[in-house]
Amino acid sequence: MAAPECGGSDGYRDLRGVRVDLNPGTARGGFGGGFAVCFWLYLSSSARPSSVILHQMTAGDDNKLPFLALGEGNKLLLFPLLRLHREAPAPDSSYPWTDTTNLSAISECPLEKWFHIGCEVTENVMRLHIDGDLIAEAHLCSLSDEPDSQDDANQISLVGRDGKLEGYVYNIEVSSVLGTVQEQCAKSPPFKLSIDYSCSDGVEEGDDGVWSIVGGKASCRRNFILEVILINAFGEPVKDKEVVASLVYADNGAVVEKSRDDSEPPLLVTCEGLEYPAISRPLPIIRGRALFKLKISQLSSKCDKKLFRIHFSTLHMRRYPFLEAYSKPIHCISRNRTSRLLGSVACFHPSKFPKTEGDGMAKAVETHKMISQNKHTRKMVVGKEAHNVMWTDSSTSDYDSFDAESSWSGSDGDEVETVSDAVIFRYCLDSTYERSKFLRGAARTVNKDDLVKVADQVSLYSGCSHHRNQILMSKRLLREGANTWSMISKNNERALWSSAIPEVITKFMDISHSTFRGLSERDLEVLRGIAGCGDDIGRDEFDRLWYWLYPVASSLSRDKIKQLWECTAPRWIEGLITIEEAENALRSSAELLKEPGTFVLRFPTTRSWPHPDAGSLVVTYVGFDNLIHHRLLSLDSSDARAGNLQDLLLQEPELSQLGRVDRLPTAMRT
């Protein structure tokens, strides 16, 4: 049996170039005779019913008949083999192949996702495996007793598509040993690169799905943050890879070039506080993730009003669609042309905080009514400056004058002496990154009482009370963070990660008031991924770690939450795990989920101070629709239910039927 013709050293190959030569004679004679064809398959979104993935051809015959195809409902179909089975497809067989014997998958074939296929063939049986699981089996009639049967080698060839279907295969293997499909599936899974949109920050998305990002001159443009994920087909993080970002046109994917008049590259990335051309500064993948802090210097208005996209690709690997990722379309605008229309405070916030507080929308709408009815008496809300900025459609210099007077988009941690009405509005509307810059300055100069007023006003006018706790903790968070970094770095620019671990664990247990449970090796690896550091760590990387860890430790300091954290039999809170690890924990196999109601409690790794959800708990659970859901649990101290985990879980009807919730220890339920 000839070896398949596969791709380069990376093992990936376009379907058009696939050819596998088979010898049906190896499947004859019984006594375990047969062979298996195993490979990973990736189909594009263009795949439709009637698409043939692999054809089968006999030697000396140009007729291509289906071997593996997509049937009705995009279900995978496997056909008997020519010159081996009497039920093999005839030359005149065609879609939907209702009159042709085939093995059919139960569910729809996944698109734009890797999945493993195993085809076992003997003279009387064929089996179809998907992701290591047996999906279908058929008993067939052998042609071995017919007088014209032949055992000539290589008389059957499996060949890829003829241009009508875009797809790729990985690590295709032919084995003369049956029963090894699961072993082949577990071996060396392929990768896929994607964007985690839950981590994006600094962008505004319109109803048409287009992002608006402020770019242009260095004094005007703003940071925005995108995080990419590189994981294998099992959802496990990939290591030792690098990803690079570039700015391309949304319509044709062409790279946006630097114009003659521009001295700066179109896309910049910030590393260690310095800006670099993004195309020449790849970022390492750490625990399957890379966080890009980007700025765009090119404007859509200077490029015939074209839309852009951010294109991410893996470095030192051939270009494949599954190793590339494109952001949503971007309209890059200048600051002085920005027009912020605010018909209601609620329109800016439900999309960001839909699950943090059930009455968030009602509060925001009520706030807008209050503003409308009292706009002459509530100076904090509708002072002249803020009114001009937030409620007019003017393209004059109002926005620029507001930004120059009250913006915190200059150097990090600029001192804040006064907090005007406009600053309150700016905080409510701006990104997490810009909010952190403001708080770094305000924490040093604004006294505690004034900071409480800011927290109250932001909570009121944003319609989200969770902002309050993030603002109130800022003084201690920044102070203890600076002290911790000083002890770790010993006044050096960088420190070894191994030397940072003991101090991080000590501070975590001190802030959380935890006595029995600290941070495990797995927890520390998650923190390392959040920081985005390797064997050593710098101040920017430490800040990323600290801004995530401190709110988590603060939440754990609450008595009833701390009891759950320290309880390890059963382990109610899994600890510091990623969303991929949580979802994998709810799977019995690659395709099957555990019983509905099974859940995992975790802290979301994508929410850092001063995001209103930083330090919150998320319940990841299997619903009765046999899908995985993620629900944010409110731990707000102003919430009457705070600390009552049972009541929080029972907000989900599906979880209310879960016995484990009812078996929470009494001390934790009351």
Query: 627-663: per-residue pLDDT in tens?
Result: 888 888 866 544 433 345 555 555 555 554 444 444 4
Please give the pLDDT value at position 622.
87
Residue 374 confidence (pLDDT): 39
Tokens of 341: 């229309």
Residues 445-502: tens digit of each pLDDT: 888 888 999 999 998 888 888 899 999 999 999 999 999 999 999 989 999 999 999 9
Residue 376 has pLDDT above 60, yes or no: no
Q: Is 163 exposed, middle or buried (0-12, 13-18, 19+ CB in 10 A)?
A: exposed
Half-sphere exposure of 465 toward its Cβ, with a 13 Å CA cutoff?
14
Tokens of 78: 């496997």
Pick 29 or 399 by higher pLDDT: 29
Look at residues 259, 256, 238 and name the one whose alpha carbon lies nearest to residue 247. 256
- Sheet of 191-201, strand order: 191-201, 224-232, 289-296, 267-271, 274-277
Percent of the chain at pLDDT > 90 equals 39
Q: How far apart are CA 407 and CA 423, in angstroms?
A: 7
Per-residue burial over 531-548, b if 16 or more Cβ lie within 10 Å, else e, is: bbbeeebbbbbbbbbbbb
Q: Is the pLDDT of residue 373 over 70?
A: no
Please report, as a single letter, which amino acid is at residue 125: V
Q: Taking the CA of residue 125 as centre, how many other CA atoms within 13 Å lie in the half-sphere pointing to its CB?
A: 14
What mean pLDDT comes out for the span 205-228? 89
**Residues 602, 619: Cα–Cα separation, whole Å:** 6
Whether cis (ω within 30° of 0) applies to the bond prior to 551 is: no
Per-position b or e across 607-624, b if 16+ CB within 10 A of its CB? bbbbbbbbbbbbbbbbbe
Could you tell me the end-to-end alpha-carbon distance of the chain, in angstroms, rounded to an integer?
A: 68
- Distance from C-alpha of 289 to C-alpha of 242, rounded to nearest angstrom: 10
Instruction: Return the pLDDT at 410.
Output: 41
Give the C-alpha separation, 591 to 599, whole Å: 17
Give yes or no for a contact between 442 and 419, defined as CB atoms under 8 angstroms apart: yes
Map tokens 């577990």 to a residue: 186
Contact predicate 49/144, CB 8 Å: no
User: Tokens in use for 277?
Assistant: 């051309």
Residue that the structure tokens 């999906």 belong to: 135
List of residues 6+ apart from 497 with CB closer than 8 A = 528, 533, 534, 535, 536, 537
Beta bridge partners of 78: 68, 103
Task: Give the tens place of pLDDT for each residue, 71-96.
Answer: 999 999 999 998 889 999 998 888 98
Rounded CA separation 489/485 (Å): 6
Average pLDDT over residues 149-169: 74
H helices, E strands: number in the chain: 18, 29
Give the residue with greater pLDDT, 636 vs 626: 626
Is the model's pLDDT at 408 over the cut of 80?
Answer: no
Predicted local distance difference test score (pLDDT) of residue 660 = 43
Beta bridge partners, 613, equal: none
With a cut of 80, say whether residue 369 has pLDDT above it: no
Please give the pLDDT value at position 484.
96
Q: Residue 652: what pLDDT? A: 52
According to DSSP, the β-strands at 267-271 and 274-277 are: antiparallel
Position of tokens 């802290």?
603
Q: Is the pLDDT confidence value at 52 over 80?
A: yes
* Average pLDDT of the residues in 608-634: 87
Amino acid 158: pLDDT: 92
605 SS3 class: coil
Taking 80 as the threshold, does the pLDDT of residue 541 lie above it?
yes
Dump pLDDT digits (tens) for 582-601: 888 888 766 678 888 888 88
pLDDT tens, 236-267? 888 889 999 999 999 999 999 887 666 789 99
DSSP state of 568: B
- Determine how many CB atoms are found less than 10 A away from the CB of residue 475: 17
Residue 529: what pLDDT?
85
Confidence of residue 146 (pLDDT cuts 50, 70, 90): low
In degrees, to the nearest 5, what angle opens at C-alpha 387 toward C-alphas 383 and 388?
120
**Could you give the CA distance from residue 463 to residue 268 in angstroms, rounded to a whole number?**
34
324-326 and 308-314 beta bridge pairing: antiparallel
- Give the model's pLDDT for residue 462: 84
Tokens describing residue 558: 């609450």
Split at pLDDT 50, 70, 90, the class of 204 is confident
Stretch among 30-44, 104-118, 309-323, 356-370 having the lowest mean pLDDT: 356-370
| pLDDT for residue 220 is more than 70 | yes
